[in-house]
Amino acid sequence: MSKPISRQRITVFGGSGFVGRHLVQRLAHEGAEVRVAVRTMETANLLKPAGDIGQIVPWQVNIAEPSEVATAVDGVDTVINLVGILYERGKRTFQRIHVDGAGNIARAAAAAGVGKMLHMSALGADKYAPADYAQTKFAGEAAVREAFPTATVFRPSVIFGPEDNFFNMFAGIMRFLPCLPVIGAPFIPKVSFGDDGLDVDFFGDGGAKFQPVYVGDVADAFFSAITMNEAEGETYELGGPRAYSFKELMELLLAVTERKKFLVPLPLGIAEMEAMFLQYLPTPLLTPDQVRLMERDNVLSGALPGLEAFDIQAKAAEAILPTYLHRFRTPSHRNAHA
């Protein structure tokens, strides 16, 4: 039987990240002693006020170095791996982070006799996926399970919340451009003739489908799994209550921010050519690998358990987005809602 969280020591790799910040604060509130294992100490120091003195301990570690990982998990009850990257830079490759690093963490946890391990993967993780990101997420799951067979794996869809990468990025773009892209629109528009004359459909199905999941729900699932013995060895798919096409997500963004912008069809082939240049920005707006991810829908398969297994009712994007995207409204709209 698992210890109550209030009596546990827990190491959270990537604890200063988007999901990690929510989870660490929740763990601290429940009385756990948390080691926040990160590359850069400054990012973890910001979390220390969320707990009592000495309760949240920043721990500098390079997950590519097994000896450093071993020190970070020594003497703890639970290990959580949230480390992941969206694009590659130098030595920070998908293989090094998603596969080798995850394997190092799992092996160290097993060697240290840690009771439980929770691992963050991604919805769409697949050995045969068109994108390296999804392939290495799948390989990372295998590396974790090989070393720590009872690890619990989570596969979330696009995660949204106040500091998300997806909605905030497109909302930022929207402030300076007259249009928003619909990535995945068809190369050749569909032309038809009806009672009203010629009709041209530029968007088709609206691009790949996504099932965005709220960051608080993801953190709650991790939190619940720590004390659920039945979660050991399981894989969970985490998604919101509704699937949206890329076009529907852009329309939702415009509705929430009360802005009027043109939607422009952007076929995957053209998007990939543009991404060849955009990937070299300091923080890439788009990479060729991210375009390849959109060759497949990113929605729940229905074959694996999800948030309902933790008695979590998924929060809808329509309910949460207005709470943090209001800052992207025009000044006149902001004043009207003040």
pLDDT tens figures, 72-82: 999 999 999 99
Q: What tens digit of pLDDT does each residue of 62-106 get?
A: 999 999 999 999 999 999 999 999 999 999 999 999 999 999 999
pLDDT at 334: 52
Q: What pLDDT is attached to residue 41?
A: 81
Q: How far is CA 272 from the centre of its chain?
A: 22
- What's the average model confidence in pLDDT over 322-328? 93
Pick left, alpha or beta for residue 90 (phi over 0 → left; psi -120 to 50 → alpha; otherwise beta). Answer: left
234-270 tens-digit pLDDT = 999 999 999 999 999 999 999 999 999 999 999 999 9
Phi, psi of 192 (to 5 degrees): -140, 160
For residue 295, pLDDT over 80 is answered with yes
Two tokens, residue 165: 């990468």
Share of the chain above pLDDT 90, in %: 85
CA separation for the pair 71, 156 (Å, rounded): 29
pLDDT-based confidence at residue 43 (cuts at 50, 70, 90): confident
Residue 10 pLDDT exceeds 60:
yes
Inform me whether the pLDDT recorded for 131 exceeds 70. yes
Scanning the structure block, which residue is given the tokens 């050991």? 232
pLDDT of 53 reads 87
Q: Answer for the pair 256, 322: CB distance below 8 angstroms, yes or no.
A: yes
- As a whole number of Å, the end-to-end CA separation of the chain is 51
- What tokens does 290 get? 């991210």
- 201: which residues sit within 8 A by CB, 6+ positions away? 189, 190, 191, 192
Which pLDDT score, from 0 to 100, does residue 321 have?
Answer: 97
Strands (DSSP E) found in 205-261:
209-210, 213-214, 235-238, 244-245
pLDDT at 208 over 90: yes
| Contact present, 287 and 275 (Cβ < 8 Å) | yes
Please report which residue ranges of 175-229 form alpha helices under DSSP H: 215-225
Q: At what angle do helices 166-174 and 246-257 cross, to 10 degrees?
A: 60
CA angle 75, 102, 62 (to 5 degrees): 70
Q: Which tokens in the block code for residue 71?
A: 């020190």
User: CA 147 → CA 37, 106, 108, 202, distances in Å?
Assistant: 20, 6, 9, 49
Q: Residue 217 pLDDT more than 90?
A: yes
Average pLDDT, the chain: 93
The two tokens of residue 38 are 């990160």
Share of the chain above pLDDT 70, in %: 96
DSSP annotation of 90:
T
Q: Where in the chain is the domain with CATH 3.40.50.720?
A: 5-159+211-241+298-314
For residue 200, pLDDT beyond 80: no
Q: How far apart are CA 300 and CA 278, in angstroms?
A: 29
Position 59 scores a pLDDT of: 94
Architecture of domain 5-159+211-241+298-314: 3-Layer(aba) Sandwich (3.40)
Mean pLDDT within 108-126: 97
140-164 average pLDDT score: 97
Q: What share of the chain is helix, strand, coil (3-state, %, to 5)?
A: 40, 20, 40
- For residues 130 and 104, the answer to whether their CB atoms sit within 8 Å is no
State the Cα–Cα distance between residues 233 and 223, nearest whole angstrom. 16
Is the Cβ–Cβ distance between 286 and 275 less than 8 Å? Answer: yes
If you average pLDDT over residues 107-128, what whole number do you get? 97
pLDDT of residue 300: 97
Within its chain, how far is the Cα of 270 from the centroid? 25
The pLDDT assigned to 333 comes to 53
Listed range (100-109, 218-227, 322-331) with the worst mean pLDDT: 322-331
pLDDT at 49: 87
